[in-house]
Structure formats: C-alpha cells, structure tokens
Structure 1
Amino acid sequence: MIKIEYPPYQPRIKKENDTEFIFDAVRKRWVVLTPEEWVRQNFLEYLIQVKKYPPSLLAVEKEIRLGDLKKRFDIVVYDVHSKPWMIIECKEMNVSLNRQVLDQALRYNITMQVPYLVITNGSYCMAFQCTDGTLNELQAIPART
C-alpha cells in the first residue's frame, strides 16, 4: 500500500440548510460534502499539487456505460492526447482497500481501457498497471505522461 502525504489544502466549504458543501475546483461547482467526497477532493489536490497532474486532464464523476448499466467513475486522468490514462476509485476513509474495491475499478476499465488503476480510501492507496491483461501492483502512483 502507498501512504499518501497530502499537501496543505484549505478547502472552500459552505453550509446551506444543514447541508455542507465543498467547492470542486475541477468541476467548478459546489458539491455535497460526504465522507467519500472529502477523500475525492483531497486526492484531487494531491494529484494537482504533488504529482503535478494538470487540472485540465482530470475528469470527476462522469457517467460511463457498462453494457446496459450507467455508472459514474470517481476520477479519470487523461493523457495529453485526451485518451483515458488512469482510473481512480475513491472510498471513504473507513472502507478497506480490498478486492471488491479493485473489482469496481476493473469493471470501469472494461469500457475505459486505461493502463493504470488506483484505489484509495484517503489514507492509503493502491496503484496497478494493466499490461496485456495482467495487473501488476506498483509501489508509487505513476508520474504523469
């Protein structure tokens, strides 16, 4: 597992009618602040500030089709040619990073066909490279291409 060292981050949070919202700088809108959203926003900041992934190459909670099902991925990183390059599945902090979480990312990859998968619960993450139908665990999140 990879321990995440987050950069300093001051999220924009507001409260309306007993509901907290956090500003998503990638989507450029306010979203309900859930435990999973907290992980997603902090991980986005990690990708942008630490890994130097350009925000313009990130997509958050976009819909994809898996057969007849409509699903939403958490984060997809695109390469410079606008081709999906990495799928990131976020879970709230109390969720274990297990095979079930990895299988969810693998299902999304049936459609997306990316070379890298990451699963995270905010504290830790696991990164994998998909090569010729084989999944290899990585010791670090890949540098952006």
Structure 2
Amino acid sequence: MQELNFPKFLFRFKSNENKVSIFDEIRKKFIVLQPEEWVRQNCVQYLIQHKNYPKSLINVEKELKVNGLTKRYDIVVFNPNGSILLIVECKSYKIKINQSTFDQIARYNLALNASYLMVTNGINHYYCVMDFEKERYEFLKSIPDYK
C-alpha cells in the first residue's frame, strides 16, 4: 500500500481469497483494504494516537440524510455531550482534493453541525474551523488535540 503522510502505525491484516483486509478498531471487524480504507484507518489512528481522541467518541462509516438523500460519512468525532466536534472526509491517495471535496463535507456539515472539518487523501490534509455566524470556514494548520 502507498506510504501516506501520517506517522507510522501498526495494523492487523489478514488475507482471504486473494483479498487483504485491515482490522478497524472502531467497527471491531476486518474491512477489505482499498486505497480509501487505507487512508481512513491511518486517519483514525492519527486521531487516537496523536490527537488523543478517545475511541469511544469516534464513529466510522455511518449513514446520514442530506437533503433527503442517504450519504455516508467517513469519520465523525463526538463531544462527550453527543454533539459533533469533527467530521473527516477521506479520499483515496489517488484522488486530488479539490473544491468539490470541500463542497461535499460542507453539505454533510449542514446536517451534522461539526465545529471542525478535516479533508485528507492521506498525502495532503486540510483542516477547517466553522464560523456558523458568518456561514463559512477558516483553514487551520491542524485540528486541536483532545482535551
């Protein structure tokens, strides 16, 4: 798998019928290893091991309704009170991040109202904080560590 712009993490892998799977600590099951999943799993470990977010506050690959359509978010981190702190949109390392990627996460955030947004393809990471009064986001150098 492609080397990503994340610290190195240890993962559990298994091979079955010529398919490699990676263990997802959040979903507690093996997931077929695709390029986007590789980015997602590295991002989850980054949030846990480097930003100190508790596993119990992280959710991966769940459905949400946006304008009546069913969509799936990649990673959401909750606040202890149940509100959403962070949404992460993961793309394959083969995909260039562009304005449509930000438009996608902004649409998701209309339904979720997260304070922070992160978009990554594993190579490039972009972080934003929401300004709900001005209805825009501001770019940051990083997302905050969990307190």
**TM-score bucket of the superposed structures, by smaller chain:** over 0.9
Deviation string, structure 1 residues 41-75 (Cα, Å, up to 9, x no partner): 01111110000010001000010011221110000
Deviation string, structure 1 residues 102-142 (Cα, Å, up to 9, x no partner): 11111110100111110001122100111121210011122
Tell me the SS of whatever aligns to 1:74. strand
2:146 and 2:52 mapped to 1: Cα distance?
A: 7
Tell me the SS of whatever aligns to 2:145. coil
- The CA deviation at 1:144 is 2.2
Tell me the SS of whatever aligns to 2:94. coil
| 1:29 alignment counterpart | 29
CA RMSD of aligned residues (A): 1.4
For structure 2, the residue ranges without an aligned partner over 5 or more in a row are none
Q: Give 1:135's aligned amino acid.
A: Y
Aligned residues: 142
Q: Give 1:23's aligned amino acid.
A: F
2:101 and 2:136 mapped to 1: Cα distance?
A: 17
TM-score of the two chains, using structure 1 as the length reference: 0.92
TM-score of the two chains, using structure 2 as the length reference: 0.91
Percent pairwise identity: 39
* Preserved contact between residue 60 and residue 76 of structure 1 (Cα < 8 Å): yes
* Preserved contact between residue 97 and residue 125 of structure 1 (Cα < 8 Å): no
* Preserved contact between residue 6 and residue 43 of structure 2 (Cα < 8 Å): no
Which runs of structure 2 are paired with 1:1-145 in the superposition (5 Å)? 4-6=5-7, 8-131=8-131, 132=133, 133-145=135-147
Deviation string, structure 1 residues 5-49 (Cα, Å, up to 9, x no partner): 41x322111111111111100110111110000000011111100
1:5 and 1:102 mapped to 2: Cα distance?
A: 21
- The CA deviation at 1:93 is 0.8
2:6 and 2:54 mapped to 1: Cα distance?
A: 19
* Preserved contact between residue 91 and residue 122 of structure 1 (Cα < 8 Å): yes
Q: Give 2:142's aligned amino acid.
A: A
- The CA deviation at 1:4 is 4.6
2:117 and 2:100 mapped to 1: Cα distance?
A: 14
